[in-house]
């Protein structure tokens, strides 16, 4: 009887030991399965201490990491097709991380969009051209749409077109802009008075919209509605530059102006007071007629604008003060510009090497004539194939 009781006791003791070990293993396993988000947050705190990273940047990075964890868990359980879909979501998230989502929540120059086009840029697009216009300049916009900005022409080069403007105190003009926008879907109208003194607001509104909607393309071009762009030559030149690393980021291509005097004549619409700009000459900047940016530039310009005092002259401010504050050197494209094209179009006949790509055309009638000449010159099958390569 005693022997039997001893065996039962040993069996119970063994079971108790096994149970204790099992409970201990469960506790250890539970500790090891801490939430991934908590682990990542600890890593972010350590990185913040080591590298002086800001709290806001850590939160943004942690959100990116968390979204990646969710993608991995979903793809594990959802099969190959789901995996592909979620990977695309991660890629979009990573692209967004280099766009406006990295900026402070409140930016200067933000205003409400009265007309916000449904225009979308996709990674396959090569370039977007945004054009500073005024609400009353409908004839100029139409001339561009019917010449170098024709959708069929731009479509060959995977290029989008956008007109940017403010508002005017003319109900009829504003109504006509709405009708025009409904037809062409290429107008961004923002809530600021469209005057020369608000050119800076127009420039920054355009950059913000592009940083949000078109950060995933190769190039961004700014121009005015009295400019004709030889899109054939511009695309050809950019595709040549694209093979070099320097032309893919921190890049601005333009007609570079150095030592330009500040106009102190109060009768001039370009008058700048000494309080606005104390120096007698402007720092290096681009002609506002046209300049080309790499896709990272809108975000960089918006961020640095938080630290650089505003100047209403948009080309001086954006391409001069902001670009110089970033320490970015302008790439010279002076040979491509011609200002004040005459009715005789004599300038084209002199351009034997076809270097000119940016034409200042004050009159819309001349724009049509000039485009016909350029189109004839480039419509030859051999010439077109060279550009499309």
Rounded Cα gap, residues 133 and 11, in angstroms = 91
pLDDT in tens, 212-233: 888 889 999 999 999 999 999 9
Sheet with 219-224, edge to edge strand ranges: 113-115, 187-193, 159-167, 127-132, 219-224, 285-293, 252-257, 331-332
Rounded Cα gap, residues 311 and 277, in angstroms = 8
pLDDT at 74 over 50: no
Max mean pLDDT range (65-69, 201-205, 370-374): 201-205
Rounded Cα gap, residues 387 and 234, in angstroms = 9
pLDDT of residue 148: 96
Q: What band does 119 get if pLDDT is binned at 50, 70 and 90?
A: confident
Stronger pLDDT, 244 or 162, i.e. the higher one: 162
Tally Cβ neighbours within 10 Å of residue 28. 10
Q: What band does 102 get if pLDDT is binned at 50, 70 and 90?
A: very low
The residue ranges of every structural domain in the chain are: 113-388
Mean pLDDT for the chain overall: 78
pLDDT of residue 346: 75
pLDDT at 60 over 70: no
Tally Cβ neighbours within 10 Å of residue 326. 16
pLDDT of residue 69: 33
Tokens 């945004």 found at:
130
User: Do the beta carbons of residue 263 and residue 270 sit within 8 Å?
Assistant: yes
Q: What is the CATH number of domain 113-388?
A: 3.90.550.50
Rounded Cα gap, residues 304 and 204, in angstroms = 12
The percentage of the chain sitting over the pLDDT mark of 70, rounded to a whole number, equals 68
> In angstroms, how far is CA 321 from the centroid of its own chain?
19
Q: What band does 1 get if pLDDT is binned at 50, 70 and 90?
A: low
**Backbone torsions φ then ψ of 298, nearest 5 degrees:** -55, -45
Average pLDDT over residues 45-56: 36
Paired tokens of 315: 């080309």
Stronger pLDDT, 198 or 61, i.e. the higher one: 198
pLDDT in tens, 168-209: 999 999 999 999 999 999 999 998 999 988 999 999 999 999
pLDDT of residue 108: 54
Which residues lie below 8 Å from residue 286, measured CB to CB, with a gap of 6+? 252, 254, 255, 256, 257, 315, 319, 320, 323, 330
Stronger pLDDT, 23 or 188, i.e. the higher one: 188
Average pLDDT over residues 257-282: 93
Mutual angle of helices 171-184 and 138-145, in 10-degree steps: 10
Rounded Cα gap, residues 225 and 77, in angstroms = 54
pLDDT in tens, 3-21: 555 666 677 667 666 666 6
pLDDT of residue 8: 65
pLDDT of residue 353: 76
Stronger pLDDT, 355 or 77, i.e. the higher one: 355
Max mean pLDDT range (22-26, 56-60, 287-291, 346-350): 287-291
């Amino acid at each position: 009887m005693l022997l039997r009781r001893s065996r039962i006791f040993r069996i119970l003791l063994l079971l108790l030991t096994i149970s204790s070990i099992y409970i201990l293993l469960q506790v250890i396993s539970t500790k090891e399965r801490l939430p991934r988000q908590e682990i990542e947050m600890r890593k972010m705190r350590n990185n913040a201490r080591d590298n002086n990273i800001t709290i806001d940047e850590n939160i943004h990075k942690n959100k990116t990491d968390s979204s990646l964890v969710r993608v991995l868990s979903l793809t594990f359980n959802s099969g190959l097709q789901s995996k592909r879909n979620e990977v695309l979501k991660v890629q979009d998230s990573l692209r967004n991380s280099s766009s406006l989502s990295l900026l402070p929540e409140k930016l200067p120059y933000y205003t409400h969009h009265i007309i916000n086009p449904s225009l979308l840029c996709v990674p396959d697009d090569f370039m977007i051209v945004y054009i500073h216009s005024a609400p009353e300049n409908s004839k100029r916009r139409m001339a561009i749409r019917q010449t170098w900005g024709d959708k069929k022409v731009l479509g060959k080069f995977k290029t989008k077109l956008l007109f940017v403007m403010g508002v005017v105190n003319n109900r009829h003009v504003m109504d006509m802009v709405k009708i025009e926008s409904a037809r062409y879907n290429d107008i961004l109208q923002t809530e600021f008075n469209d005057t020369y003194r608000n050119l800076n607001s127009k420039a920054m509104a355009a950059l913000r919209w592009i940083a949000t909607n078109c950060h995933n393309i190769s190039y961004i071009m700014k121009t005015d509605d009295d400019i004709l762009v030889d899109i054939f030559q511009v695309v050809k030149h950019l595709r040549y530059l694209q093979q070099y690393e320097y032309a893919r980021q921190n890049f601005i291509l333009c007609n570079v102006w150095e030592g330009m005097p500040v106009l102190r004549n109060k009768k001039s619409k370009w008058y700048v007071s000494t309080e606005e700009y104390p120096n007698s000459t402007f720092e290096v900047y681009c002609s506002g007629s046209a300049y080309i940016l790499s896709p990272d530039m809108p975000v960089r310009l918006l961020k640095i604008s938080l630290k650089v005092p505003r100047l209403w002259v948009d080309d001086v401010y954006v391409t001069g003060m902001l670009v110089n504050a970033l320490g970015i050197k302008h790439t010279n494209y002076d040979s491509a510009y011609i200002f004040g094209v005459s009715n005789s179009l004599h300038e084209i006949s002199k351009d034997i090497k076809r270097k000119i790509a940016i034409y200042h055309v004050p009159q819309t009638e001349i724009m049509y004539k000039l485009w016909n000449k350029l189109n004839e010159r480039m419509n030859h099958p051999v010439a077109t194939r060279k550009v499309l390569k």
